[in-house]
Structure 1
Amino acid sequence: MSPDATWSIGELAERAGATVKTVRFYSDRGLLPEAARSGGGHRRYGPEALDRLRLIRSLRTLDVPVPDVGRVLERDDALEDVVAGKLRELGTQLTALRWREAALRLLQDCPPGERAERLRLVGGISTPPSTAAMAAFWRSWLPPRLPSRLVAAIVDEAVPQPPDDPTPAQVLAFARLHAFTSGPCTGGDRGQPEAHRTGTGYRPAVLYDGLREAFALASPDLRAQRPPRPGEALDCFVSAHAGALGTRDTAAFRRRLGVQLAAEPRIDHYWQLVAELTSPPSGPREPTPGAAHDWLRAALDASDPRPGRRTREPSSSTNC
């Protein structure tokens, strides 16, 4: 073909293996350059239009939207961004499909008497799953006027990230977590500890900063499955409570703190479900803040030297 030769729209379509309708569609959107118009006003296309049409069709085969195709044709550096965006979109779609498959297996494998309840739970979550209800729960449950950076850190640590490829058991755990955090509260005062209540003398920001440090110090012991024991983690835990009240860490304070913590409402069910959701296929579980808090409470009880001391009894869990 000579450099000056041109093709009609039908000839271009034939050379590209496309339909005339397809060529006209992309041409009308300014994606195909016209070399000239015939005397009768018909479009004529040169070799560059064939190369561009082939590129357009390759991108459309990958399901790249027409506006993004235009970006790729206009800018040399746009292809990388478009490909990255499509990969993110496909990742979301694949995750949604894996969650649906696991949910269907959950329903398929459960006893018939449990199927209706599980269907109700699974029907309450989206795919891919959203953790918005859990984040809202924690922002509501935490004491007011905490610094925003501390709230963000606590929510990030307390709200689990759903796995991309869940097992049926993990789908059930997530569905129960969603129902737990989005349902109505039961129990007085929203099931919150004394430190959240006004008029108790606590400085919650001081407490929660210290608790996060204590939980981090206790985590190696939990991973190693060591029994609760005195040490740096427990000292930090008690110091957080003492500092929040503006008092000192003494034996008498530890005794009072142990009694107070044993009587407070708890949300053990939440942390149990988090552990089920985030448990690896093999090996020890990654400790949750709830597990670290339990370990430190048990260490506090174990550090009480009084004879005949009362061992800690599990307190009731509230739905809040």
Structure 2
Amino acid sequence: MTIPQDGLWSIGELAERAGTTVKTVRFYSDGGLLPEASRSSGGHRRYGPDALDRLGLIRSLRALDLPVPEVRRILEDDGTGGAVLADAVAGQLRELGGRIQALRWREAGLQLVQECAPEERADRLRLIGAVAAPPNTDTLVRFWRAWLPPRMAARDRAAFLEVAVPAPPADPEPGQVLAFARLNAFVTQPCIADRPCQPAAHHSPEFRPDVLYAGLAEAYDLAAPHLRRGRAPRSGEALDCFVAAYADAFRTRDTAGFRHVLGEQLAGDPRIDRYWELVAEVLGSRDGRPVPTPGAAHDWLLAALTTEPALRAAC
């Protein structure tokens, strides 16, 4: 098709040149995305050759599923080096990633329902259906906010939640989806009436929660290599750091007597072992070994405390 003598195309000529429909060109023109160069004596729209490139850009952006308002912002970019386009593409990638993750969770969930015994399917479907796809961690965060001491500083609480609340895997195995669904069900159960929901230490007026949880985080990090190597609980730096965290939190000294009392107190605290077992299943393995959780580290250190052959003060 040749360009008319006046250098302008009708709406039909532009649509034909672009390989689209007149309706599409009119839609973008009416929306102000594709300005017309002029009107004919009969009131018909006329477009210049630059309209073809602009229409191609619009269609390319729409093919990326960018909404019309985003397309408008990109077209009106005043020369910021493509920053508006870069931001729009980045946002679209995030949204697309979320949709892909949702599809992967749904696929794994359907596999779980399909593969279980017929008599178990209804219960499993209800279990998985209680979790969004992709899931969020809101219920887990609420659980820990109720568990952690109320006087704990926001910064320290956030640091603890960072390691205690597992991020849902982006590309989960069916077993990870089942574990996350069970984890969600676990944290939504009410506390048993005749058992406390929090450790005894949380209720002491002398207790300094920020000191304790900062020290525990260090102790758990020290215990993690032992867990990864499958070592039996033992005395050493990790245990000393663990006991020191409690001693410092109560402004006392690490003595043999304190260790004895601490071991008895911790053994009597409410247990949430099932939470950490499910967290380990959600996290999966790394280099063929389970990822150590704070709960596993705590149990390892408590076992080391209660079985050490000779209680002694830390250096």
In structure 2, C-alpha distance between the alignment counterparts of 1:190 and 1:41, rounded to whole Å = 80
Q: What is the match of residue 162 of structure 1?
A: 168
Is 1:143–2:145 an aligned residue pair? no
Q: What is the match of residue 159 of structure 2?
A: 153
Higher relative contact order structure (alpha carbons within 8 Å, sequence separation ≥ 6):
1
The offset of 1:126, in angstroms, is: 0.2
Residue type at the aligned position of 2:52:
L
Is 1:294–2:299 an aligned residue pair? yes
Q: What is the match of residue 212 of structure 1?
A: 217
Query: Equivalent residue of 2:46, what SS?
Result: strand
Q: What is the match of residue 70 of structure 2?
A: 68
In structure 1, C-alpha distance between the alignment counterparts of 2:187 and 2:227, rounded to whole Å = 26
Is 1:193–2:199 an aligned residue pair? yes
Query: Equivalent residue of 1:269, what SS?
Result: helix
Residue type at the aligned position of 2:149:
P
Residue type at the aligned position of 2:30:
D
Matching of residues 44-83 of structure 1 within 5 Å: 44-75=46-77, 76-83=82-89
In structure 1, C-alpha distance between the alignment counterparts of 2:5 and 2:209, rounded to whole Å = 78
Bigger shift: residues 252-261 or 178-187: 178-187
Bigger shift: residues 8-17 or 180-189: 180-189
Q: What is the match of residue 273 of structure 1?
A: 278
In structure 1, C-alpha distance between the alignment counterparts of 2:218 and 2:193, rounded to whole Å = 30
The offset of 1:183, in angstroms, is: 2.7
Q: Deviations over 1:255-289 (max 9, x none)?
A: 11111111111100100000111112761111100
**How much is the aligned-residue C-alpha RMSD, in angstroms?**
1.6
Q: Is the 8 A contact 1:255 1:304 kept in 2?
A: no
Query: Equivalent residue of 1:287, what SS?
Result: coil
Matching of residues 235-254 of structure 1 within 5 Å: 235-254=240-259
Q: Give the direction of change, closer, same or farther, for the CA distance of 1:136–1:197 in structure 2 (3 Å limit).
A: same
5+ residue gaps, structure 1, are 307-320
Aligned length: 305
Q: What is the match of residue 183 of structure 1?
A: 189
Residue type at the aligned position of 2:15:
A
Query: Equivalent residue of 2:290, what SS?
Result: coil
In the superposition, the TM-score normalised over structure 2's length comes to: 0.93
Residue identity over aligned pairs, in percent, reads: 62
In structure 2, C-alpha distance between the alignment counterparts of 1:244 and 1:198, rounded to whole Å = 11
Query: Equivalent residue of 2:285, what SS?
Result: coil
In structure 2, C-alpha distance between the alignment counterparts of 1:281 and 1:149, rounded to whole Å = 28
Q: What is the match of residue 7 of structure 1?
A: 9
Is 1:123–2:129 an aligned residue pair? yes
Q: What is the match of residue 107 of structure 1?
A: 113
The offset of 1:217, in angstroms, is: 1.2
In structure 2, C-alpha distance between the alignment counterparts of 1:276 and 1:99, rounded to whole Å = 15
Bigger shift: residues 265-274 or 177-186: 177-186
Residue type at the aligned position of 2:240:
D
Q: Is the 8 A contact 1:9 1:20 kept in 2?
A: yes
Q: Is the 8 A contact 1:133 1:182 kept in 2?
A: yes
Bigger shift: residues 186-195 or 133-142: 186-195
Q: Is the 8 A contact 1:222 1:292 kept in 2?
A: yes
5+ residue gaps, structure 2, are none
Bigger shift: residues 287-296 or 51-60: 51-60
In the superposition, the TM-score normalised over structure 1's length comes to: 0.91
